[in-house]
Amino acid sequence: MTSILINALKRLHITIAPQIRLSSSSVPAVAHNYNLNVEKKDWKFQPQYMKPREVWIENMDTIDEKKMGLIELHPDVFAASPRIDIIHRNMIWQSKYRWVSWAHTKTRAEVRGGGRKPHPQKGQGRARHGSIRSPLYRGGGVIHGPRSGTTHFFMLPFHVRVHGLSSMISIKLAQDDLHVVNNLELPTDESQYLEDLIEKRNWGPSVLFVDE
Amino acid sequence: MSWLPSQLFNVAWSPFRTIVRTVYHSEKTRLVRRYGYKEKIWCGGLLPRKEGKALPIPEYRPKNAWAQRRALFGQNDYIDILGPGNIHPVKTLYNVPAWIRGVSGNEYKILLRKRKMLAKIGMPSFSPTKWKNLQKRIAYLYRFLNRKTKTGMSNI
């Protein structure tokens, strides 16, 4: 299943729009001549329990979208039952496993000074102390404080991560945020072209372009 | 014969009872002096103003949501799944010191690893004070963890 995911993402030119796209209710009145060449794939792992999902292939040549054909997507990757708890686990893992806490406090051994007994044990009428850097003192060391280089590293099991990826991509497809384009060749080099394209097609505030 | 004194020590010495820690450093506050009721003279509302100038308010500086760090967050986290397969995400932790990369553990384990790795590059010669403090900390943690704390529940 993992190889399906890898191959699917490698072979397709996918654009993913992270925000929910507003559904355009205006169906084009003009009858387009669609060449419905559904690319029938020879799957390495035949979809057994669900039908493959079909997605439009769009173009990047013009600002308006043109539908070039249909492509089939494997249901195990693109139609997995979305597990929000696994997605949550993945997100927590992504934010935590790389983080190293650099908070650091010095212990009484590391604070500068404090080797000598400040005043004799008896006779002064003062509390007995052994060093001016003990935790009782102002400016003394901290006992069980944070120590530098605290890791929060852990690895999620491989299949939990794969399940998270397939859940997420299924959600994207189900919410119309996944667009498949035939190729990523643009007619102009200007960045304004892409911005106008995304604005016109309502692909959302942020778009991720994925290619091989 | 260096084991003899430590064996005698272990026979003759009995452990202290240590109280389980309930007060943590992160929850400690500054020393409260004159503990008691403090009367609130100002109960909120508009702040007093001098004629003319408004009081200084900090300028609102929104976070750049598309800065390099935030835009590329988690870019290579699934590189072992979606990539060629020979790279582990641990290998992408470039800005993390070598002895911390890909390890999880308490301070004692991390320090042992740090000592093992830094001894090879000559830390005792170019940073003797830090090396001494490292040794002292490891010795202290050995004594503390083995004599004053219990290990967690075993998996058996």
- Spell out the domain ranges in chain B: 68-147
Q: Which of B21, B81, B110 sits opposite A161 (nearest CB)?
A: B81
Judge whether A123 and A136 are in contact, CB under 8 Å.
no
The domain of A133 spans: 104-151
Task: Show residues of chain B in contact with A147, CB under 8 Å.
Answer: 107
- Mean pLDDT throughout A151-164? 96
E strand spans, B38-82: none
What are the chain A neighbours of B89 within 8 Å (beta carbons)?
A: 97, 155
Q: Is the CB of residue A155 less than 8 Å away from at least one CB of chain B?
A: yes
Q: Is A144 on the interface with B (CB under 8 A)?
A: yes
Same domain, A186 and A143: no
Q: Which of A98, A147, A150 sits opposite B93 (nearest CB)?
A: A98
- Which residue in A147, A142, A143 sits closest to A104, CA to CA? A147
Closest by CA position to A208, among listed A161, A167, A164, A168: A168
Contacts of B24 in chain A (CB under 8 A): 144
DSSP assignment of A28-66 equals -SS-------EE----SS---SSPPEEEEEE-SSSSS--
Write down the mean pLDDT value for chain A. 85
Q: What confidence tens digit (pLDDT) does each residue in A13-60 have?
A: 555 544 433 333 333 344 444 556 666 678 889 999 999 999 999 999
In a domain, A29, yes or no: no
Contacts of A93 in chain B (CB under 8 A): 77
**Structural domain includes residue A26:** no
Residue A38 pLDDT:
64
Q: Which of B24, B78, B107 sits opposite A165 (nearest CB)?
A: B78
Q: How far apart are CA A178 and CA A176, in angstroms?
A: 6
In this structure, the answer to whether residues A166 and A84 fall within a common structural domain is yes
**pLDDT, tens digit, 9 for 90 and up, residues B92-114:** 999 999 999 989 989 999 999 99
Q: Could you tell me if A108 and A207 lie in one domain? A: no
- Each residue's pLDDT tens digit, A127-140: 999 999 999 999 99
Domains of chain A: total: 2
Measured CA to CA in angstroms, residue A49 lies from A152, A154, A164 at distances of 40, 34, 20
Interval B22-43 mean pLDDT: 88
A171-205: b (≥16 Cβ within 10 Å) or e: bbbeeebbbbbeeeeeeeeeeeeeeebbeebebee
Residue A32 falls inside a structural domain: no
Mutation for B interface: A147, A153, A208, most B CBs within 10 A: A153
CATH number at residue A178: 3.40.1370.10
Which tens digit of pLDDT belongs to each residue from B58-88? 899 999 999 999 999 999 999 999 989 899 9
pTM, two decimals, is: 0.76
| Closest residue in chain A to residue B88, using alpha carbons only | A155
Query: Does residue A141 share a domain with residue A50?
Result: no
Same domain, yes or no: A132 and A54: no
Strand A38-39 and strand A67-73: the pairing is parallel
Instruction: Please check whether residue A105 is in contact with residue B25, taking contact to mean a CB–CB distance below 8 angstroms.
Output: yes
Predicted local distance difference test score (pLDDT) of residue B67: 94
Q: Is residue A6 pLDDT above 60, yes or no?
A: no
> How do A208-210 and A14-16 pair as beta strands?
antiparallel
Please count the residues of chain A: 212
Which residues on adjacent β-strands are paired with residue A54? A72
Under 8 Å between Cβ of B19 and B152: no
